[in-house]
Structure formats: C-alpha cells, structure tokens
Amino acid sequence: MGKQSILIFIKKLHRPVWTTYELASISGKSLSATTQALNFLQKQGLIFKIYRGIWAEADNQRLSPYSIIPFLFPAQRAYVSFISAMHLYGIIEQIPQVITLASTAHTKIIHTTIGTFSVHRLSPLFFDGFNWYKKGGSFLIAEPEKALIDSLYLSACRKKQFSYFPELHFPKSFSFKKAKRWAKKIPNSKISCYVQKRLEMFLPH
C-alpha cells in the first residue's frame, strides 16, 4: 500500500483519530500491511501513534486528549468524571494533570502520547448520570452533580482518592438536591450514608 493511497483512506474518515483495524477494514488491506504504511507515514511526520493501534494526524487542531477516549474503550463505555469533569464545568480552576474516567472496567492508568488517563471502577448499578459533552461532543461526561458524587463515592471506597479537593466554585445551576438524589442511589448503604454526610460539607451556608 503506497503512502498516497493510505492518506486517501485516512481523509475519508473525516476525523483526527482512527485505529489500525478500521483503516485496514476500509482499505481492504491486511493489518500488517496497514501497520507498515502507517509506520512509514509516522516517519514522514504526517501522523503519530497515540496508543496501541490508535493513530492521529499531526498538527490537527481538532485533536485533544478527550477525543481519544472512545478509542481507548472500544468494547465498553467510559465517561469523564471526578476532578476532570468538575474542571470542565468550571467548578475546579486547577487543570488536572491526569484525565479521570469512570468505567465498569478495572481501575488502571493508561499512558498515551497525548495524555494520561486514570480509570476508576464504579459499580455497574451506579454507572449512570452522563451524556455527550455539550450534547454533541466526541466523549461522554458526567453531569456536574454526578461528577461530585462519583468523587465522594470513590473517596469512601479508596480513602486516598479525592479525600481532599482544591477550592470548589459551584455555579448557580448546580443542584445540591440532585447531588443528594445521586448519593441516595449508591447501592451500598454504608457508602451512601458516608457520601451524604460529606456532601453536607459543600452545602452553601
């Protein structure tokens, strides 16, 4: 497969990120031939490898660490939550160095060439309260209230996680009633009580 032909297939995808597998599928070439062609383009500085089997165009303005999340979890869903979601909503000013994700998969750290992702496992019964970012974005994100409750939930399960928060700025649209409803939905009653008590610390006085 020539450099020119694989670039045509990449352009047909109309997005900055893709996988070796999907490019092989649309080109009709083998995975090994596709990988060789992609490695050649990487040497030319036209593309670069983000993670195993995930590639991106170099200098694409639409590329962000958040845009690769669906590609990191092709077989299951994961959504931005905890500190990262609260930062995107303006509740936390400090930019997190690691993007925090909620998933039903095992807790782990994923290092890529454009960002590090910290994946935290939630109970499947509590894996809810998220939507597409700005309703039409390329990744899923927790509602502001759910992001806070996810953080408190995790601090109950793992004492060193989110036991301390930087200064929080809740917008007028933030609903503490909604947050409390999420706290009550936590399947484990002990954890639910702990989270409700911690939530009271954030209530406006």
Cβ proximity of 89 and 130 under 8 Å: no
Across 173-198, average pLDDT? 96
Same domain, 104 and 174: yes
Residue 123 lies in a domain: yes
For 47-78, what is each residue's pLDDT tens digit? 999 999 999 999 888 889 998 999 998 888 89
Residues 93 and 37 in one domain: no
Reply yes or no on whether the pLDDT at 9 is more than 70: yes
Average pLDDT over every residue of 82-90: 95
At 4 the pLDDT is: 54
- Domain end (from 14, 35, 57): 57
> Rounded to two decimals, what is the model's pTM?
0.89
Instruction: Verify that 41 and 142 share a domain, yes or no.
Output: no
Asked whether residue 26 falls in the same domain as residue 94, the answer is no
Q: Domain count of the chain?
A: 2
Percent share of the chain, pLDDT over 70: 95
Q: What is the CA radius of gyration of the chain?
A: 20
The verdict on 41 and 74 lying in the same domain is no
Q: Tell me: do 97 and 171 sit in the same domain.
A: yes
Assign 1 a pLDDT band (cuts: 50, 70, 90). very low
Same domain, 44 and 100: no
Residue 96 lies in a domain: yes
> Checking DSSP bridges between strand 99-103 and strand 115-121, what pairing results, if any?
parallel
Q: What is the mean pLDDT of the chain?
A: 91
Rounded to an integer, the average pLDDT of 108-134 is 94
Question: Which of 36, 57, 78 corresponds to the end of one domain?
Answer: 57
Asked if 39 and 140 sit in the same domain, the reply is no
Contact yes or no for 135/84 (Cβ under 8 A): no
- Between CA 95 and CA 21 the distance in angstroms is 33
pLDDT band, very low/low/confident/very high, at 143 (cuts 50, 70, 90): very high
> What pLDDT does residue 74 have?
83
- Clarify whether residues 33 and 69 are in a common domain: no
Among the candidates 21, 38, 57, a domain finishes at: 57
> Domain with 8 in it: what CATH number?
1.10.10.10
* Per-residue pLDDT band at 135 (split at 50, 70, 90): low
Task: Label residue 138 by pLDDT band (50, 70, 90).
Answer: confident
- For residue range 88-119, what is the model confidence (pLDDT) as tens digits? 999 999 888 999 999 998 889 999 999 999 99
* Reported confidence tier of residue 162, pLDDT bands at 50, 70, 90: confident
Residue 205 within any structural domain of the chain: no
Query: Are both 101 and 26 inside the same structural domain?
Result: no
90 plus 130 within the same structural domain: yes
- The residue type at 74: P
Same domain, 85 and 160: yes
Task: Please give the residue range of the domain that contains residue 53.
Answer: 3-57
